[in-house]
C-alpha cells in the first residue's frame, strides 16, 4: 500500500512539473494523455490494485481518485490559462480597426439605352399606352406581307434583312409586325399599345446606323382616330422627352403600311440646329416614322377599315439617346467599352 501511495505521489508531482513546462494547449493535452489516458501512468498504477489485500483496495482506490481529480483540475487550469494567452495574442496580432471606412462595392448600372428605353415607356404609359411584347424572330408574312409589302415589292429594299436558314423565317427588321400580333389579339376592341424591342438590319455600320438597334412601336386603333390625333400625341411625347421648347417637324414620307405617312424630326441637340456631322448639316434629327394605319393592314389585323382607323409610329431609342447625351457615334452602344458606359 505504501508503494502505491508513493507511486501516486510521484505521478502527481511529475504531472505538475510537466504542466508547468507545457507552453501551449497541445503540450497540455499531451500531459493528459501521458498521465490520465487509457494507456497512461495512472491506468498502469490502477492495474496494480488487483495485487492488494481486499481490505486495502477501497482506500487505495480513493487515493488514486483524489490524485486523478487534482491532476485533472491542474490540467484544466493550465489549459484555460494557455487558451487565454493564445486568444490575447491572436487578438493583438489580428487587430481590426472598425473605425476604418469600408471598401466600396462597385455598383453596376443600367445601359444608357435601357435607361432611355424605360423613360420612353414611362412617358407613353403616362399617356395611357400599354406595353405589348412581341418576338424578335418573325415570319416573312408578319414582317412584310401583312404589312402590305408583298414579295418582290421594291419597298422591301428599305429594310435589308437577316434571313435564317429556315424558309420564311427572319430577324425582324422593325417592330411593326407587332402591330399585327396586337390587332389580332385585341380586335374588335380599341387599342393603345407600345411595342419596345430589338430590331436587326443587314446594313452598313456607320456613326448613325447599327445592325442591331431598339425600336419602340406605337399603335392606336379606334373609331374616329385622325392624323390630328397622331400629330398631337407625338408632339406631346417630344415635349415630355426633350423639353417643352424643343422644335419638332413632320416631313411627308412613305411606308407601305401607313397612308398618309410621315417622319418626325427633332431639332438637333448636338449642334443646336446649326448643322453638324450627326444631323448631316440639316439641324434636324429624324427620330421616328409614323402614319395612319393602312386600311389593308387594319383588315389583316381583324378590323373593319370602314368603322375603325388608327395611327402608328416607330422610333429609335438609340438615336434619341444620342440626342439627349450628345453622343456622336452609335457604335459606342454595343462596343462594350466601360469608359463609355460608366458615364451614364
Which residues contact ligand FA5 (rule: CB under 6 A)?
A: 174, 176, 201, 203, 209-210, 213, 215, 217, 255, 258, 261, 286-291, 312-316, 318-319, 330
Specify whether the CB–CB gap between 38 and 51 falls below 8 A.
no
Q: Count the Cβ atoms, other than its own, within 10 Å of residue 51.
A: 10
- Rounded Cα–Cα distance for residues 161 and 154 (Å): 14
**Nearest approach, Cβ of 101 to ligand FA5 (angstroms)?**
44
Q: Which residue is nearest to ligand FA5 (CB)?
A: 316
- CB nearer to ligand FA5: pick between 35 and 132: 132
- CB nearer to ligand FA5: pick between 35 and 255: 255
**Nearest approach, Cβ of 262 to ligand FA5 (angstroms)?**
8
Phi, psi of 215 (to 5 degrees): -135, 155
- CB nearer to ligand FA5: pick between 139 and 209: 209
**Nearest approach, Cβ of 256 to ligand FA5 (angstroms)?**
9
- CB nearer to ligand FA5: pick between 82 and 147: 147
**Nearest approach, Cβ of 252 to ligand FA5 (angstroms)?**
12
Comparing CA positions, the residue from 14, 38, 22 lying closest to residue 76 is: 22
**Nearest approach, Cβ of 173 to ligand FA5 (angstroms)?**
7
- CB nearer to ligand FA5: pick between 180 and 312: 312
| Cell reading at 140 | 416573312
- Rounded Cα–Cα distance for residues 54 and 37 (Å): 26
Longest dimension (CA), the chain: 125
- CB nearer to ligand FA5: pick between 85 and 205: 205
Strands 130-131 and 169-171, bridge-based pairing: unpaired
| DSSP string over 35-71 | HHSTTSHHHHHHHGGGGS-TTTHHHHHHHHHHHHHHH
Amino acid at each position: 500500500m505504501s508503494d502505491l501511495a508513493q507511486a501516486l505521489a510521484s505521478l502527481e508531482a511529475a504531472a505538475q512539473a510537466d504542466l508547468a513546462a507545457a507552453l501551449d494547449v497541445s503540450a497540455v493535452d499531451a500531459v493528459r494523455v501521458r498521465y490520465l489516458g487509457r494507456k497512461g501512468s495512472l491506468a498502469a498504477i490502477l492495474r496494480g490494485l488487483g495485487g492488494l489485500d481486499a481490505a486495502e483496495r477501497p482506500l487505495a482506490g480513493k487515493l488514486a481518485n483524489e490524485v486523478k481529480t487534482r491532476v485533472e483540475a491542474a490540467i484544466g487550469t493550465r489549459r484555460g490559462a494557455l487558451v487565454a494567452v493564445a486568444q490575447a495574442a491572436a487578438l493583438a496580432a489580428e487587430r481590426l480597426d472598425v473605425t476604418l471606412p469600408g471598401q466600396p462595392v462597385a455598383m453596376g448600372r443600367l445601359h444608357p439605352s435601357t435607361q432611355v428605353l424605360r423613360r420612353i415607356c414611362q412617358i407613353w404609359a403616362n399617356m395611357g399606352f400599354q406595353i405589348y411584347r412581341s418576338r424578335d424572330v418573325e415570319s416573312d408574312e408578319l414582317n412584310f406581307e401583312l404589312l402590305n409589302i408583298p414579295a418582290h415589292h421594291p419597298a422591301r429594299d428599305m429594310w435589308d434583312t437577316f434571313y435564317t436558314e429556315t424558309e420564311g423565317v427572319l430577324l425582324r427588321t422593325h417592330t411593326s409586325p407587332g402591330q399585327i400580333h396586337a390587332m389580332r389579339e385585341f380586335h374588335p376592341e380599341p387599342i393603345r399599345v407600345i411595342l419596345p424591342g430589338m430590331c436587326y438590319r443587314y446594313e452598313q455600320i456607320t456613326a448613325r446606323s447599327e445592325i442591331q438597334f431598339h425600336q419602340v412601336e406605337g399603335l392606336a386603333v379606334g373609331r374616329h382616330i385622325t392624323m390630328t390625333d397622331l400629330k398631337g400625341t407625338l408632339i406631346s411625347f417630344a415635349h415630355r422627352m426633350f423639353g417643352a421648347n424643343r422644335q419638332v417637324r413632320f416631313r411627308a414620307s412613305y411606308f407601305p403600311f401607313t397612308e398618309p405617312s410621315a417622319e418626325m424630326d427633332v431639332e438637333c441637340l448636338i449642334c443646336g440646329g446649326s448643322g453638324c456631322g450627326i444631323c448631316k448639316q440639316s439641324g434636324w434629327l429624324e427620330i421616328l416614322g409614323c402614319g395612319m394605319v393602312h386600311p389593308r393592314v387594319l383588315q389583316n389585323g381583324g378590323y373593319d377599315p370602314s368603322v375603325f382607323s388608327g395611327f402608328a409610329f416607330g422610333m429609335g431609342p438609340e438615336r434619341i439617346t444620342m440626342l439627349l447625351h450628345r453622343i456622336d457615334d452609335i457604335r459606342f452602344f454595343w462596343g462594350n467599352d466601360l469608359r463609355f458606359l460608366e458615364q451614364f
